[in-house]
Amino acid sequence: MNNQERIAIVTGGGRGIGRATAIALAKEGYQVVINYAGNQAAAEETKALCLAANPSATPLVIGADISTEEGATTLINQTMEAFGRIDILVNNAGITRDTLLLRMKAEDFDAVIGTNLRGAFLCTKAVTKPMMKQRFGRIINISSVVGVHGNAGQANYAASKAGLIGFTKSVAKELATRGITANAIAPGWIGTDMTQDLSDATKASIAAQIPMNRMGAPEDVANAVLFFAKEESAYVTGQVLLVDGGMGM
């Protein structure tokens, strides 16, 4: 199949890494479904940018809270109704509720786990049956270097992203014989809405810890997604790719 016949879902596609990923996929010819939970305007803007990147694309915007079983099922069912198949699932939706462990409320822990990890589980579970039927699928989970190394003040976020890595490896083993791969990408410090409010001094301190001496761009992560999405990547599964400017060395 050519890329125009491949259908890709990007959860949390309204901004940041999700937006860059949707645009990159559209530019390569994939038909993209842009999922959002609360900010429809941002998702519609991503759709317009996808069309600008590829005027022959037919991007679809679907609002659904993927942290709930109903929302995840709605996203997958509406995509199947629109396109009849799903080839690529990018589990990107994520939130933060940063604070030190002693100050962290249980509801803040649960909220982060609910979106970042449970949401990926629900969407992956819902998409597994159609992918198994077509004997092709690419599941790409956006984790974080925080899930590999941990980070003070982010116990909930780190737990969700570390869990996503274990989840990825388990799914990869379960589905490998069905033509379905599962891989994770662990971005380092990326310039998104989550980092734009940091002070210049903090940004400079972060950059000093990165061998490349700069934060990454959302497009850097999107390019890694494109690699895992390709049909030629069929023999790559269960991997965790750090896109971090060398922080993990």
pLDDT tens by residue, 109-126? 999 999 999 999 999 999
Q: Residue 235: its pLDDT value, please? A: 98
What confidence score (pLDDT) does residue 155 get?
97
Residues 12-51 have pLDDT tens digits of 999 999 999 999 999 999 999 999 999 999 999 999 999 9
Residue 196 has a pLDDT of 72
What's 195's domain CATH number?
Answer: 3.40.50.720
| Active-site residue (options: 30, 36, 157, 235) | 157
Q: Which residue in 146, 96, 89, 140 sits closest to 116, CA to CA?
A: 96
Residue 193's pLDDT band, with cuts at 50, 70 and 90, is confident
Taking 80 as the threshold, does the pLDDT of residue 4 lie above it? no
Average of pLDDT values for 149-162?
A: 96
Q: How confident is the model at residue 194 (pLDDT cuts 50, 70, 90)?
A: low
* Domain presence at residue 82: yes
Cα–Cα distance for residue pair 86/96, rounded to 1 Å: 28
**Structural domain for 102, as ranges:** 3-242
Is residue 247 in a domain? Answer: no
Binning pLDDT at 50, 70 and 90, where does residue 192 land?
confident
Q: Is residue 57 domain-resident?
A: yes
Residue 55: pLDDT band with limits 50, 70, 90: very high
Whether the model pTM is above 0.75: yes
Phi-psi region of 238 (alpha: psi -120 to 50; beta: other; left: phi over 0): left
Alpha-helical (H) ranges within 65-217 are 69-83, 106-113, 119-134, 146-149, 155-175, 200-208
**pLDDT-derived band at 3, boundaries 50, 70, 90:** confident
157 catalytically annotated: yes
3-state secondary structure 95-118: CCCCCCHHHCCHHHHHHHHHHHHH
In a domain, 145, yes or no: yes
* Domains in the chain, number: 1
38 in any annotated domain: yes
The pLDDT value recorded for residue 114 is 96
User: For residue range 63-73, what is the model confidence (pLDDT) as tens digits?
Assistant: 999 999 999 99
pLDDT at 248: 82
Burial class (CB in 10 A: 0-12, 13-18, 19+), 89: buried
Query: Looking at the domain assignment, is residue 168 inside a domain?
Result: yes
Residue 207 falls inside a structural domain:
yes
Q: What percent of the chain has pLDDT over 90?
A: 88
Neighbour-count burial of 210, counting CB atoms closer than 10 A to its CB (0-12 exposed, 13-18 middle, 19+ buried)? middle
Q: Tell whether 249 is covered by a domain.
A: no
HSE of 9 in the Cβ direction (CA atoms, 13 Å)? 35
Higher pLDDT, 201 or 226: 226
Report which of residues 5 and 67 the model is more confident about: 67
Mean of all residue pLDDT scores within the chain: 95
